[in-house]
Amino acid sequence: MVMKLWNTIRQKIRKRKSNIYRSSDTCPSFNYEKALEDKRFLYIKWSDRVDNDLLEAWENINDELMDEFGVDPSLQNLLLAEKRFMELNTEFILTGKRRLITDIEMARLKYERLKNISNKKVDSSFSKIAADLFLIHKIRVDLKETPIREFKHIIRQAQEHGKTV
């Protein structure tokens, strides 16, 4: 009786852990894009059950993508400007040096300018990119079936062959 109960519990744990896309090789592109828009990451799991592993799975998927495809240069510049702004603020708070106020204001203006540029930059949706891939390269992509890593490879290959999407 105890063994049967233990096996049932173990099966439920395995089943629960399998309800989450844990890799960029398994998470469909459509779900990844919806999770980006939603900010609650509910699209990277298969059931309505909220799991503590959800954030860990999301971070794993993004880490895999960043390791393989890198970080967009405009995002990198924005993060560096934000870091500089925060460092100057921290130094001012710790030291109280008034000469830092001008540097802080300049860093804030640079950060705001980069943030406005990145907000104005139109980031195409995956469905628009998939449509462009079909129109330009005659490559049909099913976003609900194609894993995000494979989709990014398709985009990279299309860009390398001269016609950007």
Between CA 143 and CA 4 the distance in angstroms is 41
Report the alpha-carbon distance of residue 106 to residue 11 in Å, rounded.
57
Residue 141 lies in a domain: no
Q: Indicate whether 61 and 86 sit together in one domain.
A: no
Domain count, the chain: 2
pLDDT digits (tens, 9 = 90+) for 96-142: 888 899 999 999 899 888 888 766 654 567 888 888 888 888 888 88
* Cα–Cα distance for residue pair 133/140, rounded to 1 Å: 7
Q: Are residues 25 and 59 in the same domain?
A: yes
- For the whole model, what pTM was predicted? 0.56
In a domain, 44, yes or no: yes
| Residue 58 structural domain | 21-69
Is 4 among the domain residues? no
Same domain, 78 and 63: no
Residue with tokens 């880490």: 63
Question: Do 60 and 48 belong to one domain?
Answer: yes
Q: Do residues 86 and 116 share a domain?
A: yes
The predicted model gives 67-80 an average pLDDT of 79
Which pLDDT score is estimated for 15? 47
